[in-house]
Amino acid sequence: MSGAVDTGVAIRTNRVTRTFIYLFLLLFALFYLLPLAVMLINSVKPLSEITGGNMMALPNVWTFEPWREAWSSAQIGVQPTGLRPYFINSILIVVPAVAISTIMGALNGYVLTKWRFRGDTILFGMLLFSCFIPFQIVLIPMARVLGMIGLAGSVPGLILVHVVYGLGFTTLYFRNYYSAFPTELVRAAQIDGAGFFRIFYRILLPLSGPIIVVTIIWQFTNIWNDFLFGSSFAGQASQPMTVALNNLVQSSTGVKAYNVHFAGAILAALPTLIVYIVSGRFFVRGLMAGSVKG
């Protein structure tokens, strides 16, 4: 009888504990989402309501004109182009940079784990060291290199910068993932006559889905949100979204259009939000997939 009573008390205590945990997490979630809510609310208000001191209140008049202006006609630098051309620039930078760095990282991880050679540990250590080099240190050397090869101020130049800087991270992810992969399968494929690339494309790559998702999310987020490289190496016609957003907010052509600024900030953050909402649950799963051998 006492055992049943103890079990009931334990269940009630567990429920109370979980309730407090959920309330605590909900409080932090609301606190974290408050800035986004403020931006969303004020992005659909007329400017007169914001300047009137009603920033936290719901709009009396709902309008999507700030979104249209931020996208297509807001003053960015000297031209009223809106954020649309810079959004396209970011897409042109992100997609090739993510694809190239992911493929190269996969090949590096494959070589460093299944095709060992003398000095491979030193090479991996150098690649790993590159993950800890601050952005600011590489600005001048990278600017010199881009100038020498004729890619300064261009979209291909920014792609190269992001590929080079992200290669250490992608190599690390794939190397750790492939180190848990049975080497015996690779040896068996070699005995059957499979070569370097055939083993990679037919055996390892089809099983690399989780770590590919991790790499894409990591690289996409870092490249899309980058401001330093974009402001340092981009020309006027190749500026990414983050640089254009800064120019939009810093432009001084009269009254500050806060509703347009809020709409522009949400447009700039929207791709990364979509990526995390759609595939964020795979991020930790992919990181853990190669963390334990056997």
* pLDDT tens for each residue of 162-196: 999 999 999 999 998 998 888 888 888 888 888 88
| pLDDT value at residue 132 | 87
Report the predicted TM-score, pTM, of the whole model to 2 decimal places: 0.85
Half-sphere exposure of 88 toward its Cβ, with a 13 Å CA cutoff?
8
Q: 201 — phi, psi (to 5°)?
A: -75, -30
For the cut 60, the answer to whether the pLDDT of residue 294 exceeds it is no
What are the residues whose beta carbons fall under 8 Å from the beta carbon of 67, sequence distance 6 or more?
Answer: 43, 44, 263, 267
Q: Do the domain assignments include residue 262?
A: yes
Q: Quick one: 176 and 271 in the same domain?
A: yes
How confident is residue 265, by pLDDT bands cut at 50, 70 and 90?
A: very high
- DSSP, res 58: P
Phi-psi region of 77 (alpha: psi -120 to 50; beta: other; left: phi over 0): left
Q: Exposed, middle or buried: residue 249 (CB in 10 Å: 0-12, 13-18, 19+)?
A: middle
Q: Quick one: 103 and 249 in the same domain?
A: yes
How confident is residue 287, by pLDDT bands cut at 50, 70 and 90?
A: low
Closest of 192, 199, 36 to residue 113, by C-alpha: 199
Q: Quick one: 253 and 111 in the same domain?
A: yes
Q: What is the CATH number for 218?
A: 1.10.3720.10
Q: What is the mean pLDDT of the chain?
A: 86
What are the residues whose beta carbons fall under 8 Å from the beta carbon of 89, sequence distance 6 or more?
Answer: 155, 234, 238, 239, 240, 241
Q: Quick one: 1 and 112 in the same domain?
A: no
Q: Quick one: 130 and 223 in the same domain?
A: yes
Q: Quick one: 89 and 14 in the same domain?
A: no
pLDDT tens-digit readout, 93-139: 999 999 999 999 999 999 998 888 888 888 888 888 888 888 888 89
For the cut 90, the answer to whether the pLDDT of residue 228 exceeds it is yes
Q: What value, to the nearest 5°, has the Cα angle with vertex 217 and ends 222 and 284?
A: 120
Q: Quick one: 110 and 230 in the same domain?
A: yes
Q: Do the domain assignments include residue 191?
A: yes
Closest of 67, 68, 48 to residue 59, by C-alpha: 48
Q: Quick one: 146 and 12 in the same domain?
A: no
Q: Quick one: 25 and 117 in the same domain?
A: no
Q: Quick one: 145 and 3 in the same domain?
A: no
What angle do the packed helices 155-179 and 120-130 form, to 10 degrees?
130
Name the maximum alpha-carbon separation found in the chain. 84
* Number of domains present in the structure of the chain: 2
User: Across residues 130-151, what is the average pLDDT?
Assistant: 90
Q: Do the domain assignments include residue 61?
A: no
The residue type at 216: I
